[in-house]
Amino acid sequence: MKDVAKLAGVSTSTVSRVISKTMFVDDKTKARVEEAIKKVNYRPNLVARGLRSKSGNLIGLLVPEVIHTTFAFFIKYIEESVARYGFNLILCNTHNDPETEELFIDSLLRRNVDGIIFSRVSDKSRVLRILENTNVPIVVIDRALGSENVHIPAVLLDNYKAGCMAAEYLVSCGHTEIACITGPLDILLSRDRLEGFRATLEKHSINLKNELVCEGDFKFDSGKKAIDCLMAAKKRFSAVWAQSDLMAIGVMREFSRLGFSLPDDVSVIGMDNTNLVEMVTPTLTTIAQPFQDMCDTAVDLIMRKISDGEDILYKRVVLDPVLMVRESVKKV
């Protein structure tokens, strides 16, 4: 910067002003400065800027896992979205471990990040308290903070409605004996989905028997295990909703292994609409999450807070799921 200033015959403050475009600079000097900038190929140092102005155009993203889950979508779309704003993304894989979570949060705050996006927070309140006591904009994405009486803006899916849609579709296809494989039931969204599912079935005078509800963990293996469980208990059902595509595919895979033919012998509907749905046979009917919308919304909230100081504290955006019909559900 000094070099530029010298070359252009101005002071560093003028150079700074030309770069930040925050004050009026005489066109002629501006031109000279810009030329000098090009000549020495000057690039403002973002660390120094971050130190001085407490804003280094950085966003932190915390996810509990990276591979082959819905979080990959959050990572992708959030990175793309912040990049559009000229920001960089610091990615933190918390492994769902509260301690790791806390460490990362600490790091991010010490880096003066401009915002933090959380996809899934563990329910440990110490992290939440840290977050409440900072003025760095925070947005939670994908997972509501349930009982905790904490006010952090969130971008969420209408999970209750997702359950309704899954049920409605299965019923419309003529199914009456229906099973459900949920996510971990200590997670609010799993319960919301189940409630919507159950309520809608009841609306159609179908009782979702408890013995046909299995708790999974959203992963592939738990879909397989759930089917093993149900089959071992000789339960009867013609359709099953798995609350994640991975589990749904686990279900399909296990039925195949057991010699069932899909969707003739049993119908499966998933949730998420990951890329996997087109890769299996039959292709998977599923409830889509609007990942990109969710991510864009989350980033927008942060950016608005940053630039306008807009009060997003009590904002809570709820987006709608979408039914994606493919081949894995049979009309009976």
Partner DNA sequence: TTGTAGGCGTTATCAG
Partner DNA sequence: CTGATAACGCCTACAA
* Interface residue list for its own copies (CB under 8 A): 43-48, 50-51, 56, 58, 65-68, 72-73, 75-76, 79-80, 83, 88-93, 100, 104, 106-112, 220, 246, 249-250, 252-253, 256-257, 274-276, 278-281
Give the max Cα distance, the chain.
86
Shortest CB 56 distance to its own copies, Å: 6
For residues 218 and 214, what is the distance between their CA atoms, to the nearest angstrom?
11
Shortest CB 26 distance to DNA, Å: 3
Residue with Cβ nearer its own copies (74 or 241): 74
Contacts of 190 (CB under 8 A, 6+ apart): 182, 183, 184, 215, 243
Shortest CB 276 distance to its own copies, Å: 7
Instruction: Choose the contact partner of 285 out of DNA, its own copies, none; CB within 5 to 8 A by kind.
Output: none
Helical spans, DSSP H, in the chain: 2-8, 12-20, 27-40, 46-53, 71-84, 98-110, 125-132, 159-172, 188-203, 220-232, 245-257, 291-308
Binding status of residue 28 toward DNA by CB under 7 A: yes
Residue from 11, 88, 134, 275 binding DNA (CB under 7 A): 11
Shortest CB 47 distance to its own copies, Å: 5
Residue from 31, 40, 48, 279 binding DNA (CB under 7 A): 48
Binding status of residue 22 toward DNA by CB under 7 A: yes
Site string for DNA, 51-70 (x = CB under 7 A): xxx-----------------
Contacts of 148 (CB under 8 A, 6+ apart): 123, 125, 128
Instruction: Choose the contact partner of 278 out of its own copies, DNA, none; CB within 5 to 8 A by kind.
Output: its own copies
Binding status of residue 25 toward DNA by CB under 7 A: yes
Residue from 45, 88, 275, 307 binding DNA (CB under 7 A): 45
Residue with Cβ nearer DNA (44 or 146): 44
Instruction: Choose the contact partner of 25 out of its own copies, DNA, none; CB within 5 to 8 A by kind.
Output: DNA
Binding status of residue 88 toward DNA by CB under 7 A: no
Core vs surface per residue 170-205: b (16+ CB within 10 A) or e: bbebebeebbbbbbeeebbbbbbbbebbbebbeeee
**Residue 139: strand pairing partners:** 117
Residue with Cβ nearer its own copies (42 or 197): 42
Residues in the chain: 332
Q: Choose one: 42-50, 101-109, 135-143, 175-183; the region binding DNA (CB under 7 A).
A: 42-50
Residue by residue, DSSP assigns 253-279 as HHHHHTT--TTTT-EEEEEE--GGGGT
**Residue 287: strand pairing partners:** 271, 323
Instruction: Choose the contact partner of 90 out of DNA, its own copies, none; CB within 5 to 8 A by kind.
Output: its own copies
For residues 26 and 28, what is the distance between their CA atoms, to the nearest angstrom?
5
For residues 132 and 138, what is the distance between their CA atoms, to the nearest angstrom?
9
Residue from 6, 7, 34, 49 binding DNA (CB under 7 A): 49
- With vertex at residue 290, the alpha carbon angle to CA 311 and CA 121, rounded to the nearest 5 degrees, is 55
Shortest CB 49 distance to its own copies, Å: 9
Q: Which tokens hold the place of 145?
A: 């903070």
Residue with Cβ nearer its own copies (192 or 254): 254
Which residues here bind DNA, judged by CB under 7 A? 1-2, 9-17, 19-20, 22-26, 28-30, 42-45, 48-49, 51-53
